[in-house]
């Protein structure tokens, strides 16, 4: 038998945890929005309608991949870019603006509010550690 201790899992910040949940659920809705663009034939003339499905699928995959990259600053920036691209979909189907507002609001809370809460928790832990010294 080995006396090796199990490795501690990496600490995940609150923006990383909540942001990944938001992006994962948004990926499902964005794929369905792509299907809506296809079904409503909302793309301009000259653009094949199946591009709506492709765009929805690509955005969904990018959101799933980005949810695993939120530990990096550029992963958070990529998440913001994906939110903007999703908002641009409202030019084709105005109802996508509702999706953007709902998930965009959750994304703002996950990233900005989560970072604020994370800073407060870190300060409380530092104060508790200073008291025990």
Q: What is the pLDDT of residues 73-103, one digit of tens each?
A: 999 999 999 999 999 999 999 999 999 999 9
Spans of all domains in the chain: 14-132
The fraction of the chain above a pLDDT of 70, given in percent, is 98
pLDDT-based confidence at 1, cuts 50/70/90?
low
Residues sharing a CB contact under 8 Å with residue 75, sequence separation 6 or more, in sequence order: 66, 69
The token duo for 116 is 């604020």
**Cα dist from 119 to 73, 112, 124, whole Å:** 16, 11, 9
Task: Tell me what pLDDT residue 2 has.
Answer: 63
Cα–Cα distance, 68 to 70 (Å, whole number)? 6
Question: What number is the average pLDDT over the span 61-70?
Answer: 97
């Amino acid at each position: 038998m080995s006396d090796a201790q199990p490795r501690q899992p990496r600490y995940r910040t609150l923006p990383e945890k909540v942001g990944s949940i938001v992006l994962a659920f948004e990926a499902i809705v964005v794929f369905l929005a792509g299907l809506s663009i296809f079904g409503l034939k909302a793309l301009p003339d000259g653009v094949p309608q199946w591009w709506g499905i492709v765009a929805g699928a690509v955005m969904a995959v990018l959101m799933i991949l980005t949810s695993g990259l939120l530990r990096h600053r550029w992963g958070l920036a990529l998440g913001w870019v994906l939110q903007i691209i999703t908002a641009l979909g409202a030019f084709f189907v105005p109802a996508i603006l509702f999706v953007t507002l709902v998930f965009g609001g959750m994304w703002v809370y996950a990233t900005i509010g989560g970072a604020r809460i994370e800073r407060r928790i870190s300060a409380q832990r530092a104060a508790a550690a200073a008291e025990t010294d």
